[in-house]
């Protein structure tokens, strides 16, 4: 199971690296062409914008598992250990419900936009708006992977590098 988790995290990370690299190349090429020829690539801004949308949604799960989202822990810190576990379990359940709802809303929105084309690239908007349900689906998977350790200990041992220390972040990785 840990091997599958490492593969999943690595694939998610490599997808982000590829998207960020593509965005950098598109913007860099556009700047180069603008200064050398005086003309911009007409689709560069649009491609960079859509890559940024995909980066945001597909990267949120990796940020979640590493405790990078904002957390306010005053209530959790004021509770006894059993109350903290209950609160963290409620947070996980609430997040799963919200993420599931957002997958549903994202699918509906993407389907509504499937016949419209982007102005410059002329691709169906469904490919742009598919980032939302896919990103929230990835959030669900990442949350389910770390939920048990987050609820029981409030910490999460990173599995993407074997020798990592246990992260003891304020509020844990999702709190």
Q: Are 153 and 161 in contact (CB under 8 A)?
A: no
Interhelix angle 81-112/131-153, rounded to 10 degrees, is 170
| pLDDT tens digits, 136-166 | 999 999 999 999 988 998 765 554 444 444 4
Separation CA 125–CA 128 (nearest Å): 5
Antiparallel, parallel or unpaired: β 166-167 and 156-157: antiparallel
What distance in Å separates the CA atoms of residue 159 and residue 13, rounded to the nearest whole number? 13
- For residue 58 the two structure tokens come to 């597909």
CA distance readout (Å), 59 to 63, 64, 87, 90, 165: 6, 9, 26, 24, 22
**pLDDT for position 164:** 45
Nearest-angstrom CA–CA distance, 31 and 120: 17
Give percent of the chain above pLDDT 70.
88
Helix spans in the chain (H): 2-37, 44-65, 74-78, 81-112, 126-129, 131-153
pLDDT tens track for 26-67: 999 999 999 999 999 999 999 999 999 999 999 999 999 888
- Tens digit of each residue's pLDDT (9 = 90 or more) over 63-81: 998 888 888 888 888 989 8
């Amino acid at each position: 199971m840990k091997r599958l988790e490492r593969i999943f995290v690595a694939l998610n990370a490599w997808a982000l690296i590829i998207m960020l690299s593509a965005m950098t190349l598109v913007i860099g090429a556009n700047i180069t062409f603008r200064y050398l020829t005086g003309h911009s690539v007409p689709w560069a801004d649009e491609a960079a914008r859509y890559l940024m949308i995909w980066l945001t949604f597909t990267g949120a799960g990796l940020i979640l598992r590493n405790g990078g989202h904002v957390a306010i822990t005053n209530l959790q810190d004021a509770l006894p250990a059993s109350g903290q576990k209950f609160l963290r379990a409620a947070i996980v359940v609430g997040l799963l419900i919200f993420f599931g709802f957002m997958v549903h809303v994202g699918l509906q929105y993407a389907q509504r936009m499937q016949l419209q084309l982007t102005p410059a690239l002329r691709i169906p908007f469904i490919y742009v708006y598919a980032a939302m349900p896919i990103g929230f689906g990835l959030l669900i998977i990442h949350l389910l992977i770390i939920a048990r350790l987050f609820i029981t200990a409030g910490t999460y041992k990173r599995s993407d590098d074997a020798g990592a220390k246990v992260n003891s972040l304020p509020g844990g990785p999702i709190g």
